[in-house]
A and B are shown apart, each in its own frame.
Chain A
């Protein structure tokens, strides 16, 4: 992984959270994505960067909890796009990457809810409504992932418990 500068501010984006920055000394990180999916967005012109940690595919029939604005793919992506635009990003320039959506609790359980798979489908669908598609993805499988976005370069990296960071 590209070594972060010693004074880099590592911003942990927890479950259902999102973070926006245009400070090149920041690092946005979503740790341990299991069935969750991390969405990284980067506007190369303004360097506005955003990372969302999506938990579930749909808000339908569920309460919106403002403490977790990115809990659901549908409402979470809408909030992410609004906040990116407010910070100066332009949607058509955004480079979008996805990581996560694994079935970490075993294959038998994965068949029961398929949350990772449904998250991926819902996110792609919602991005499409915003005229966007992911340029790179590391989705599925059975291992959790950590997704890191470096606003200084726009590069994203994915690592698992068993493997070192690879650029996405």
Chain B
């Protein structure tokens, strides 16, 4: 049953990552490649390798899912890459933004909103669910502290932890972002029924 769930979530992850990547490409004005998303139980520190390692400082956005199922969505960027995104979104030369100021946080929040919502919509369409993304919370911290906090929240409810992560890459092969999605355990039962 767990294998069927992983297969289902992999299909959702591919579609969701494709839509999210398309949203990212549109915002950034450049082609974004989608690395094959990983779907696995208990993604933690290894997911952080994509954004520079466990202790790497990242900037990103966090959303919760509500509706027929609940869960967590997080989009993380290495800080340097996040600032490049801000410059591209604002139509200014790359290198203009040098620190995560108010403008940068606002832009990253919007990016998280668009990319996170694209993924949530893919999940809703696939599983025929009504889902609502929360407004994004901008986060700027060590990557593992953020991923771990989602892991703790899911695990605190008992049951299994299934965390999906998708890595976006730009045309040069550099990481353009890391998307982490974790349904709450009670929602996994609903997803298992879809998978069956």
Contact = CB atoms under 8 A, between A and B. Distances in A.
A67 B178 CA distance: 26
A113 B153 CA distance: 7
Interface stretch (A28-36, A74-82, A90-98): A28-36
B139 A32 contact: no
B62 A61 contact: no
Contact of A34 (B55, B140, B145): B145
Interface in B117-169: 137, 139-146, 148-153, 155-156, 158
Given A15-B151, A113-B153, A143 B141 contact: yes
B57 interface: yes
Interface residues of B, number: 25
Given A106-B137, A106-B139, A34 B45 contact: no
Contact of A55 (B137, B144, B148): B148
A161 B158 contact: no
A32 B151 contact: no
Interface in A111-146: 112-113, 115, 143-146
Given A14-B45, A105-B139, A109-B64, A33 B152 contact: no
B15 interface: no
B139 A115 contact: no
Nearest to B45: A14
A50 to B, nearest CB: 20
B158 A34 contact: no
Interface residues of A, number: 29
Given A15-B151, A109-B64, A104 B146 contact: yes
B62 A34 contact: no
Given A32-B54, A104-B141, A61 B146 contact: no
Contact of B158 (A31, A61, A71, A145): A61
Among B141, B149, B156, max chain A CB count under 10 A is at B149
Nearest to A145: B145
Interface string A53-64: 001100001100
Contacts of A102: 145
Interface of B: 44-45, 54-55, 57, 62, 64, 137, 139-146, 148-153, 155-156, 158
15 contacts: A31-B144, A32-B142, A33-B145, A34-B148, A36-B148, A55-B151, A56-B152, A56-B155, A104-B149, A105-B149, A106-B139, A109-B64, A109-B153, A115-B149, A161-B57
Given A32-B55, A109-B64, 18 more contacts: A15-B148, A32-B143, A33-B145, A34-B144, A34-B145, A34-B146, A34-B148, A34-B152, A35-B152, A56-B156, A104-B139, A105-B150, A112-B153, A113-B152, A115-B152, A115-B153, A144-B144, A160-B142
